[in-house]
Amino acid sequence: MHLSTHTWMRPEPLEVTLKRASSLGYKSIELAGEPSQYAIDETQALLKKYSLYCWGTVTTMYGSRDLAAADQAQREATVGYMKSVVDLAAALGGEIITVVPCTVGKLQPSASEREEWEWVVRGVREVASHAAKKGIRVAIEPLNRFETYLITNTSQALQLVDEANMPNVGVAFDTFHLSIEEPDMIAALRRCGDKVFDVHLGENNRLSPGDGSLDWPLIVQTLREIGYDGALAHEAMPPIDRTSRGAFGSKQLEPEPWDVDEGALQFLKDHASGVLREDYYTGMIARTAETILPLIK
């Protein structure tokens, strides 16, 4: 296993992200699924400069991106988007793509449950077929009930894996989401077994590992037991203290206005966050390294 990090939590030049990660002992990156932001040659050069590699990519499901949309054209566009995220991972030598099937924050169906499930199964199968041709595995990520109504635990994710019926489809195991949704997160991890294709790191309170109540030695030990040997990707997203105690958010957030793409900014806001201060964010990345690296060396 090795330490990796996502990029979506703080909009910044990729070189800033890579330089920080490399200096703290990270080995790879899991890029936000925005192919237009990453010129392949330039990204490869930066990865080489900082001795990192691309572990994979993750779909950023905001706006109209939704495999369960009632509108067929919207579903087809979402499949096309996901295929482009697969292509980004493949072009950079990645191994996986994490897929969230529905728009993050969508909490009610827009069609019958049976229809939506069939659309999601069909969409995942089509994306996985495309990914298989490029040597990419597809990891389905359950989110907690406050961010989605569809695929909120590992049993549901494994059902989707089974019905998609593609050998390159598995599960992205996010410790934050699943600490909420699983009655026994360790048992869920064992149940997923060799279908764990990716692991996202966040505490029960979505802070960095070590700043909550999760048992990280046990989690890492269980990952070893099931034979997982991939990335452990930092994906902490802190709640913002907007009271006077937190200086009304200024201890964590950069001053506004934020020069950030509208869709990416909305995605952050939908996570009750914003553009984190660089020193604060660096501290979070460092805390994850401090907690996890001794367990995997």
pLDDT tens digits for range 102-152: 999 999 999 999 999 999 999 999 999 999 999 999 999 999 999 999 999
Question: What pLDDT sits at residue 272?
Answer: 84
pLDDT tens for 191-209 read: 999 999 999 999 999 999 9
Return d(Cα 188, Cα 169) in angstroms, integer.
17
pLDDT tens for 250-265 read: 999 999 989 888 888 8
Residue 259 near residue 176, CB atoms below 8 Å:
no
b/e per residue 214-230 (b: at least 16 CB within 10 A): bebeebbebbeeeebeb
Question: What pLDDT sits at residue 263?
Answer: 86
Question: What pLDDT sits at residue 269?
Answer: 87
> Which residue type does 196 have?
V
Residue tagged 């590699």 (tokens): 53
Return d(Cα 266, Cα 64) in angstroms, integer.
13
- Res. 285: pLDDT tops 90: yes
pLDDT tens for 220-233 read: 999 999 999 999 99
Question: What pLDDT sits at residue 93?
Answer: 98
Give me the mean pLDDT over the 167-175 stretch: 98
- Res. 271: pLDDT tops 90: no
Give me the mean pLDDT over the 60-70 stretch: 97
Question: What pLDDT sits at residue 262?
Answer: 87
